[in-house]
Amino acid sequence: MGVASPYHARRALPRVARPRIVAAKAATQGEMGMRMLMRRGLASLVLACGLIAALAAPAVAQEKKIKIGVVYDLTGPFAGGGSDLHYLGAKIMIDYINRTGGVEGYKIEPIYVDAQSKPDVAINEAVRLIEQEKVDMLLGFFSSAECVPAAARIEQFKKFMWITTCIAAPVLEGRNMKYVFRPQPFGRQWGVSSTAMVAHYSKAQLGKDPKDVRIAIVHEDGAYGTDVAKGTAEGAKTVSLEVVLHEGYSATAPDLSSMITKLKRARPDVLFHTGYNPDITLMLRQAREGGLRFSTLIGHGAGYGVYSKLKETLGADASHIFNVDPISIWQANAKALRPELIPLIKTIGEDYLKAKPETTIKSAHVGMAASNTYLFLSDVLPRAIKKYGGIDSEALRKAALDVDIPEGGTMLGFGVKFLGEGSTMAGQNDRAAPVVVQYIDDKAWVVWPPSQQEREPVLKLPASSPYAAK
């Protein structure tokens, strides 16, 4: 027999076997169908997961942020005069707010820039932050020389500006700003406070009635120094102190010997000085070399608020110098503050010393910027979001005008209520005030006003001082 073909072999199979093949074929087809369905189902599942991931991805990527342009002088003469410490205070507070949850679901995204101690750079950087970085608002500003023109430019953009530092009255006075706010005291208050203290103690400590006390007012001739000097002159007139010299100079002057000569001729009992760090150092060095003598030296903020710089320049002769500034948050009367502020002040101090472990006396500058930044982030900004529906300039303006904080409600001790439209000083905190501090043996003591006083002032320099009147 020949070999049967596969066809014939299949035909030769018994009929009972054929259904099994059909069943097996059907089973095979069924399995293939199931596998195809499974593959299709898996593909659909993958596609669905991809769609879900695609939809979810923007929610993660688009975390709610508030972009704040933070402007300080990190280089140049203003940096050493206190601006770098204000930057540190603001940064400490922004970092604290972010690590404790942000503001109403928003994370703060600070964009720090260096104004380089130059007004034109401050203005250009502010404009760049607004136009290119698309910041929602601006915060900071140390120097009044920068603040005056920068505020006007930022107002033109209708952007919100929160000033933590610069104090000159012309920043706000008579300009009817809508979107510029300053929780700080303003410059003339510095001079009024210091002259009031001298008049109060002149008889007991200088042996003279106020009308017989000879004072000299010297200052850098920018907006800051000029405004403080104006307040000093006004204060002197109010309490009847005799002004024997009122002189301005450029903060960048390389030589102040001619002014020292004028001071020697004027023979003041009390020298009121307003300046930054380099010019303070220059003036006091040339005063010592030129034999200038006086009983009392009162500095007005800026470089006088950085004790480490005074000590570096003068050594032990820094003792008994006065400084006028908002109170250091580490010296504010804890019993008069809101209880929740006390642990926060401690945290700021710890972060300060981590950043600058060489610190002897914690500068009021750091606490000043931290307190004023905290006021904005904890009070104004949340109200703008919750009550006025956003973070645009109009919402922030309304939220700022709503602030009504009594004395003791800020880390600086004073309250907050901003003057509104129609006021000569629109945007100014009407409840802010500075104090007078005296450095004695590497400690800072609040000596004026009496309500904040830790000890009475000592108006006469010690006999060991090279500046002490003989």
How many independent structural domains does the chain possess? 2
Tell me which of 33 and 185 has the higher pLDDT: 185
Task: Find the mean pLDDT for residues 374-400.
Answer: 98
Q: State what percent of residues in the chain have pLDDT above 90.
A: 77
Check whether 45 has a pLDDT greater than 60: no
Angle value at C-alpha 374, between 277 and 348, nearest 5 degrees: 65
Is the confidence at residue 63, as pLDDT, over 90?
Answer: no
- Given the DSSP bridges, would you call strands 435-440 and 443-448 parallel, antiparallel or unpaired? antiparallel
* pLDDT one-digit tens code per residue, 136-192: 999 999 999 999 999 999 999 999 999 999 999 999 999 999 999 999 999 999 999
Shared-domain flag, residues 249 and 371: no
Tokens (6 digits) for 187: 């410059």
298 and 443 in a single domain? The answer is yes
State the pLDDT at residue 308.
85
- Copy the structure tokens of residue 303: 């470089």
In a domain, 46, yes or no: no
Q: Cα angle at 270 between 266 and 272, to 5 degrees?
A: 95
Share of the chain above pLDDT 70, in %: 87
Higher pLDDT, 58 or 72: 72
Q: Report the side by side order of strands in the sheet with 435-440.
A: 242-249, 214-220, 270-274, 296-299, 322-325, 435-440, 443-448
Query: Is 232 found in the same domain as 149?
Result: no
User: Sign of the CA dihedral 118, 122, 123, 124?
Assistant: positive
Parallel, antiparallel, or unpaired for β 270-274 and 242-249?
Answer: unpaired
* CB-CB neighbours of 338 under 10 Å: 13
Residues 149 and 91 in one domain: yes
- Within this chain, do residues 358 and 443 fall inside the same structural domain, yes or no? no
- Contact between residue 160 and residue 397 where contact means Cβ atoms under 8 Å apart: yes
Contacts of 207 (CB under 8 A, 6+ apart): none
Span 248-288, pLDDT tens digits: 999 999 999 999 999 999 999 999 999 988 899 999 999 99
Helix (H) or strand (E) holding 163: strand 160-163
Average of pLDDT values for 96-124? 97
Residues 141 and 289 grouped into a single domain:
no
Range of the structural domain that residue 168 is part of = 65-185+336-402
pLDDT tens-place string over residues 210-243: 999 999 999 999 989 999 999 999 999 999 999 9
